[in-house]
Amino acid sequence: MYPLNSATEVLFLTKKIRKLLPLITIPALLIQSKTDHLLNLHNIEYFYNKLGSQHKQKMLIEDSYHVVLVDHKKHYVFKGIYEFIKKHSTVLNK
């Protein structure tokens, strides 16, 4: 029963999140692997286009799979996250 409950919960949360995306106005970095075996690349485009933020960026990772933070390109991903935060942080830019 557990996996079925989880799938139902994901679908429920996805519907709620889609409605809230235009309300997100803070800087947003979207990261996805180009070869993700669980998510279609359409997802990152959808979220990017629906976000209300004026400061948003997509980071597509080559040679990686679903969990990009522990995969082949993790150092590249962490560097990208750091650069994004540095660019949009008032604390780091002082």
Domains of the chain, each with CATH number or no CATH:
2-88 (3.40.50.1820)
pLDDT > 90: what percent of the chain? 40
Average pLDDT, the chain: 84
- What pLDDT shows up at residue 2? 58
Q: What whole-number distance in Å separates Cα of residue 94 and Cα of residue 74?
A: 28
- pTM comes to 0.79
Q: What whole-number distance in Å separates Cα of residue 31 and Cα of residue 18?
A: 17
Q: Among the listed ranges 17-21, 48-52, 59-63, 70-74, which one has the minimum average pLDDT value?
A: 70-74
Digit-coded pLDDT (tens) for 45-69: 999 999 999 999 999 888 787 777 7
pLDDT > 70: what percent of the chain? 91
**Site of tokens 């990152």:** 44
Bridge-partner residues for 32, per DSSP? 60
